[in-house]
Amino acid sequence: MTQQTVKVKKNIVDEGIEAGLARLTPERIESVIQRVLNREAGARLKTYARTCVHCGLCSDACHHFVSMNRDPKLSPAGKVKRTIGVMMQKKGKVSKDFIREAAMVAYSECNLCKKCVLYCPFGIDVGYLMTLVRRICHLLGVVPRYMQDTAHSQSVHFNQMWINGDEWVDTLFWQEEEARDEAPDIRIPVDKEGSDIFYSVIGPEPKFRAQLIYQAAMIFEAAGSDWTMPGSPGWDNSDLCMFSGDNEMMGRNKRAHFEAAAKLRVKKIVMGECGHAFRSVYDVGNRWLGFKMPPIPVIHAVEFYHDLVCNGKIRILKKFAQPITLHDPCNIARGMGLYEKARELAHALCETVVEMTPNREHNICCNAGGGIINCGPPFKDKRVEANSVKAKQLFDAKAMGAEVVIAPCHNCHGGLEDIIHHYGVEMELKFFGDIIYEVMEKPE
């Protein structure tokens, strides 16, 4: 792996961004920027802007900066200076070309991983500042087409994959029927009131990875869990509106999720292996709705599986034999501190665990979360080639014997899969649920 491999295609043209720009006027641009800077951002933005001393200590935390020949424009401080810094300096009087550039930076050159916050001596949250830029772009209607399509789906169906109600319930029945070939008495309880657990997943699971629902049902059955899944909107816990800048729709998504759980009078929500969905439910969407903490207790799958495996609630017949390495998703590692539980779980399930370096809260992001992977094919090469440092990390783990990467997050799976294929790393990807299902004693 060398930095000479970096050959990013220039001048990406996105139909959504260009269509939005065509509708803009100078007055509209100024009005929207002033609204966000003065009415939505407030003191936090001003404090960050006045505190940054441009020391550059944030730079080495950014995989874009490190992978792209240490280009100063791609440092976290550089990205702030190129976008919201100019907006503040010019009080919103910027051109369409500037908005195009700001959208490109905010949506495709920062995936809101927040690693740079750890390295800033003042704790300036560049992810938050880039979120403000995305908010402005959303209000201007300048959003990458593929990302906006997923946001539209959540506006219509409360899920990101255009899945209607019948398709969702049919998928649950289908997976229950499949599971009954292995465990004849197994059920996937739908809308069961008063259950201990409300299990929610993200849209791509019924669409592309239905086996994860099958495996989760087998794990719940083996553990003797009292659980249910909702049969109506609210089952998809993901939230691309959070990343597009559509805060109003983000709030509606989270309200649908919480209300579905409240309607069934469950004791807690267990979320599948997704990072950004957890961020949306646990940290961002709940606060938009006015809840300091979620109105119903929420735990991520890593925490749930850790309890089942490490406390002996399911029986492990034989540990997973292939050496594995563990990828720390930003949203549950830096965002929730689940990195030690993830390691304890990995060691309980697998014979050999190879550590990537750096790891835990310092781990290198997949460069797919933050909505970048949802910007679609026009941005794929840029996304993958701007993360050669992650490919090197995977190669290093492979050289130490790792054959499988466990990534307990859907976006991380998508991002790492593209990196593995692009750079020829030749490693296998799995969720914790895949490993648990493979090594546990199955229900009969």
The average confidence (pLDDT) of the chain is: 95
Spatial strand order of the sheet with 268-271 comes to 227-228, 197-200, 268-271, 298-300
The answer, yes or no, to whether residue 239 has pLDDT greater than 50, is yes
The answer, yes or no, to whether residue 296 has pLDDT greater than 70, is yes
Q: Is residue 131 part of a domain?
A: yes
The answer, yes or no, to whether residue 433 has pLDDT greater than 50, is yes
| Positive or negative: CA dihedral 97, 102, 103, 105 | positive
Phi/psi at 192 (5° precision):
-85, 110
* Per-residue confidence (pLDDT) for residue 219, from 0 to 100: 98
pTM for the full predicted model:
0.94
435 and 341, same structural domain? yes
Q: Is residue 184 part of a domain?
A: yes
Contact 135, 84 (CB under 8 A): no
Phi/psi at 425 (5° precision):
-70, -35
Q: What is the mean pLDDT of residues 312-331?
A: 97
The CATH number given to whatever domain includes residue 110 is 1.10.1060
319 and 421, same structural domain? yes
Confidence of residue 10 (pLDDT cuts 50, 70, 90): low
415 and 323, same structural domain? yes
Q: Is residue 238 part of a domain?
A: yes
Q: Is residue 100 part of a domain?
A: yes
345 and 297, same structural domain? no
> Cα separation of 317 and 344, whole Å?
17
* Per-residue confidence (pLDDT) for residue 444, from 0 to 100: 82
Confidence of residue 15 (pLDDT cuts 50, 70, 90): very high
How many angstroms separate the Cα of 293 from the Cα of each of 149, 200, 245, 283, 338?
29, 18, 21, 7, 17
Confidence of residue 282 (pLDDT cuts 50, 70, 90): confident
Confidence of residue 1 (pLDDT cuts 50, 70, 90): low
Share of the chain above pLDDT 90, in %: 94
The answer, yes or no, to whether residue 4 has pLDDT greater than 70, is no
Q: Is residue 170 part of a domain?
A: yes
Q: Is residue 129 part of a domain?
A: yes
pLDDT, tens digit, 9 for 90 and up, residues 75-97: 999 999 999 999 999 999 999 99
Q: Which two tokens stand for residue 146?
A: 């593929």
- Which residues touch 220 (CB under 8 Å, ≥6 apart)? 197, 199, 227
Domain boundary among 277, 308, 339: 308
Length of the chain: 444
The answer, yes or no, to whether residue 302 has pLDDT greater than 80, is yes
166 and 288, same structural domain? yes
Q: Is residue 249 part of a domain?
A: yes
Q: What is the mean pLDDT of residues 174-182?
A: 96
Q: Is residue 10 part of a domain?
A: no
- Which residues touch 218 (CB under 8 Å, ≥6 apart)? 179, 182, 183, 186, 437, 440, 442, 443
222 and 293, same structural domain? yes
Distance of CA 158 to the CA centre of its chain: 17
- Which residues touch 166 (CB under 8 Å, ≥6 apart)? none
Q: Which two tokens stand for residue 313?
A: 């609630």
In the chain, how many domains are there? 3
Confidence of residue 8 (pLDDT cuts 50, 70, 90): low
156 and 299, same structural domain? yes
Domain boundary among 126, 143, 160: 143
Cross-strand pairs, 229: 190
Distance of CA 290 to the CA centre of its chain: 22
259 and 222, same structural domain? yes
Domain boundary among 308, 323, 351: 308
The answer, yes or no, to whether residue 2 has pLDDT greater than 60, is no
Q: Which amino acid is at 321?
A: A
The answer, yes or no, to whether residue 3 has pLDDT greater than 80, is no
pLDDT, tens digit, 9 for 90 and up, residues 421-431: 999 999 999 99
pLDDT, tens digit, 9 for 90 and up, residues 145-160: 999 999 999 999 999 9
356 and 259, same structural domain? no
* Per-residue confidence (pLDDT) for residue 183, from 0 to 100: 96
The CATH number given to whatever domain includes residue 350 is 3.40.50
Q: Which domain holds residue 398?
A: 315-439
170 and 300, same structural domain? yes
130 and 25, same structural domain? yes
205 and 103, same structural domain? no
pLDDT, tens digit, 9 for 90 and up, residues 55-74: 999 999 999 999 999 999 99
